[in-house]
Every structure is written in C-alpha cells, then in structure tokens.
Amino acid sequence: MKYISRTIEEKLISMIDKYQVIMITGPRQVGKSTLLSFIARKFNFNINRVSLDDLILRNQAVEDPELFLRTHETPLIIDEFQKAPELLSYIKMIVDDDNEKIVFGEKEKVKTLYFLTGSQIFETMEEVSESLAGRVGILDLYGLSERELEGLKSDLFVPNIVDIKKRVRTKYNSTLDLYKKIYKGSYPELYTSDKDVEQYYSDYLRTFIEKDIRKLINIKDEYKFIKFVSSIAARTGQEFVASQVASQVGIDDKTANSWISILKNTGIIYLLQPYMNNTVGRAVKREKIYFTDTGLACYLAGYVDYITLEKSAYSGAIFETYIVDEIIKSFVNQGKDARKHLYYYRDNNQKEIDLLINYNNVIYPVEIKKSANSGKDAIKNFSVVNSFEGQPGNGIVLCMTKEIIALDDNNYMVPIEYI
C-alpha cells in the first residue's frame, strides 16, 4: 500500500503549533488517521494515538475522562472522539491551563496537544464550539480528488477564465474512462489495495450502519434506513423534498428530515444551499443533495459496472455529482468552508443555474453538462446573476469539450479537466 499525497497536508502543517487542538472531520475511511500518521512520520513527530472504536478505551474515556487524558501523553491523536464527548470539557481545562502558562512565561509558545478525528460531527460540534471556541482549528476531509490521484497541484477552483487558462489539465482518455473513475469513487483504500469495488462498498455500508447509525435509529428501522439511503442516492443532484422520499420509503416527513441530517452530518451527502439575498425574492429555498462519493452513490443506486452506468438515465446526475464533488474538494482541501462559497439557483419561473461560486464578492454562474457541445442554450439563465448583490463574474459551462471555447464575450465552455 502506497500513501497518496493529500492537498490538505499544507493547510494542516500550517496549523500545527498554532492551535492546541486540531480537529479533522469527514466520512469514514477517507484517510483522516492516515493523513495524521503521514505528517507525524514526515516531520518525525512523536505523536501518541488512541481510537475510541476500541470499547475498553471508549469506556475509560466516558467513565473517567480526566484519568483517560492523564494516562495518554500529548501530543495525542484521538480517533472517533465523538464517541466520548465527555472528554471535551477536560481538554478545555488542559488548554486553558496551557494558555495560562504561556501568559505568565512558564511556557514559551503554543504547542498542539490534541488531534481529534471524527466521522460523526453531529453529536459534538455544539460541544466543540462551546468548549473549545478559539482554541480549535477545524478541517474537513473528503475522498481523493482527481488532482490528488494524478499527483497534480490542486488550487482553489474559481471560474475566473484568466485563472482557469493557467491551470494544468487532468487527463481523461475517454468518456468511458471518466465513468470508470466515477463508478470506482474516491475512497483511498480502493487505490492502495486490490479490493473489489462492489465488495468494498458492501462492507462500507455495513460498517456505517453498525458504527455510526445503529445507536441513532431503532433496530426495526434499519431496513427502511437502507432503503432511504438508496432512495437518496438515486436523487443525487436533485432538490431534497422530504415528503417524496418519505412516501417512497414508508416513513413520515419528520423521520425523513432526521435521517437526511444524519447523512449530512456523517459526510455521506453534501447539501448545496440555494442562493438567497435581498434581491432574490422568488428563489426556491430547498437544498440540493449531492453524495460526497460517486462510487457509494452508484452502489446504492444499484449499478454494478461503469459501462451500464455511462449509458443509463443516471449518467447525467452522477456526472454532475462528480463535478460538484471535485469543486467542493478544491475548497475544503484549502481549509475553506465550501458552504460560504457554493450555491445553486432556481426560481419559481423555473430559471435554474447548477452552481454559483461566490468568491471575493464576485459571483460566477456555472452549468454542468455531460455533452461535448452544449451551445448557448446552457447559458440562457446566466443573466439573472446581474440582479444579485455582488459583482457578476464570467460564466462557464463545464462539459466534455476538448478546449476552452468562447460562447460570447463573457461566457465559455470549459473542459472538466480544468477543475
């Protein structure tokens, strides 16, 4: 098994010894612990590590958190820290004592004491914000990006056409080659081992249910939950309407909303927010669903090979999901909160724009098309951006075209290889 370098390494390194606590959250098996192990080896850091997946250690942390922290020397990695939220108030006391020593000259400077990793942020984010506000640096980690897989430099993707033209392209030999990557997904283990894709996702789903979900839902609802997740996978790239999913699965709307929150807060899905401001009075307010891993979405939607996938009615939605995921990763891998920059737009007149990227108060409209030649019809709604607060930027259509092609003075077809 060979380690694949992660873009977020640079941001993580810059945070070490600037925060006493660094927290890395993200879905299971995206490489959070591996990332920390690599950084420790690279810089010859002597970092201890415990995982709260271990029942004995977890019981110790829950029953006597003070003793648990005294037992394990810092710097310390605590994997799956959300399983023992009792630790947070004691970590706060240790950090406060550390700060007092710095203030009174008993200690020279800040050192990172704890690295926390977690795949379930919903149980602990409120406690983290209350206990460790100003003391914790937070990073999100998702699966491998295409640029990471190809060993290329990964910059923030902002659709300014001048900057896009300076980017190094990734490589797709054919549409089928692209769908092979979409079908495989982005979990690192699939690229560092010879595991069968279908078996990997079967095992992943079982682990997800057993370790993340079982204590949150009734045992009798597990079958319905799996049916719910599969239904959501089939809706990737669509707006979330609780009543539609609820009626299909056989649950009520309240349960559907609760379960969608579980998927969001475990990093299985990303909910893209609608663009809203004072100038947008007729915009739809529903969120759009995107699975954060296309391979898992394909598995749940029932696809068993990439050739069938590419020819299916699902191919457009999963193509859009892949593109949005890559753009999200370009933001989170730079330590930025994608939710502050990425939106979509649809109003009651059915005018829709797949993606709005708001960066430095410039709003760039983005359409995503599987075709190689989308034409001007793809940009027909871009003019609505002129009525938004903020400065309108150039628009782009991300598609399978071979080269950047101007559609008019301010809008361009752009190959997906530039993401």
Per residue in 293-307, pLDDT (tens digit) is 999 999 999 999 999
d(Cα 403, Cα 416) in Å, to the nearest integer?
10
- What pLDDT, in 10s, does the model give residues 347-374? 888 899 999 999 999 999 999 999 988 8
Indicate yes or no: pTM above 0.85. Answer: yes
Q: How many helices (H) and strands (E) does the chain have?
A: 17, 14
Residue 417 contacts residue 169 (beta carbons within 8 Å): yes
Farthest-apart Cα atoms in the chain, separation: 67
Tell how far CA 11 is from the center of its chain: 16
pLDDT at site 128? 73
CA atoms of 182 and 177, how far apart (whole Å): 9
pLDDT tens digit string along 8-29? 999 999 999 999 999 999 999 9
pLDDT in tens, 163-212: 999 999 999 879 999 999 999 999 999 999 999 999 999 999 999 998 88
Question: Contact 286/240 with Cβ under 8 angstroms?
Answer: yes
> Residue 257 corresponds to which tokens in the numbers above?
């909303």
